[in-house]
Chain A
Amino acid sequence: MATARRRSPGLRKAFPYLLLAPAMLYLLAITLYPGLFAIYQSLFVVKFVNWTWTGLGNYRLILQDREFWAALGNTAIIGGISLALQTLIALTLAYFAYRDPLIRGWRIVFLMPMLFMPSAVAFIWKLAFNDGRVISDLLMGLGLVEGNVDWIGSIWLARLTLIVADVWQWTPFLFIIFVAGLQGQDQEIEEAARLDGASWPKIFWNISLPMLRPIMVVAVTLRGIDITTMFTNVFVMTQGAPGGATETMSYFIYRQGFRAFNFGYASAASVLMLILTIVIAQTVVKRAFRSGKS
């Protein structure tokens, strides 16, 4: 062993950091730099190439801006209702489907809405609700309404269209995860409960569902995070109408930045949204992923 390498403890210790370095640098470049830039830019009023210092002026304006708070509220309302709905539906479907012999078929069919590009889905429902009036037609046929429904005309109708589009497309996401979670549960426990005389709904409610909880938390958290970034549907279907009732945070930032060209203002909004994201990540996500994985 005369030619054996004496390992240097330094290199040994540094190795994992070296492995991580390229990825970390890349991520930092894409988060740190833009983050700092956004903070910087938010301190200015930007009109084309003119940057005028305004300190915390943008922030003062934003926090008084009715539209900002509306966007925040819309995101919460539309996102919250949507998330609750798709969780409920996915859970129900999973309950019925996970033991069914046809589960493979169900899975493929239920998965399909998720496989369309989000922009495509937005157009599907834009056509169905607004431009093509199919939904109105069906409702008329059922005798529920008379005449055409103006889906963008009323606040809650417009929100409804967004909710429908999101639920239709993303329920499968929760569905497959729930099914996977349920299928992974120990069948013997369920059989023991059956022998003890419990009915299927009782078994599900008292045994399967509690066991599914950690998985549910992870899945719903992930989907919840994504919902708060809702943009595409708003862009295609409503553009925030009527009167900003369907404008989400992402659309607000987009509009301020790329329609009104108030870049400083948009940056301030971005910074605020970033702070919100960090807070949510630290509290909710950390806990969700702690419980969801080892």
Chain B
Amino acid sequence: MSPRSKTVVRRTLRAFALELVIYAALVTGYFFAVLHLLGGWLVQLETQHIRIYAVVAILLIIGQAVVLEAVTTGLLRLLRGGRSE
């Protein structure tokens, strides 16, 4: 591997590690907020209104995926100076 490639790989790995740390901090906060705020309501919904629960489950997982994708893409851009990959 050429010295230039080594520098690029090192820089990419450092950015990725930094991204993981920031992401982990964000996710921990989100995690407790969602589980504590939505947990009880979702259990109640699952036992009493199963069809509404099924729709809410799909919307939640898609909504979370869209938000997380935006967060990780934003972090990648921020840490790699405007490039997302």
Task: Judge: A and B partners, yes or no.
Answer: no
- List chain A positions with a Cβ less than 8 A from chain B: none
B→A interface (CB under 8 Å): none
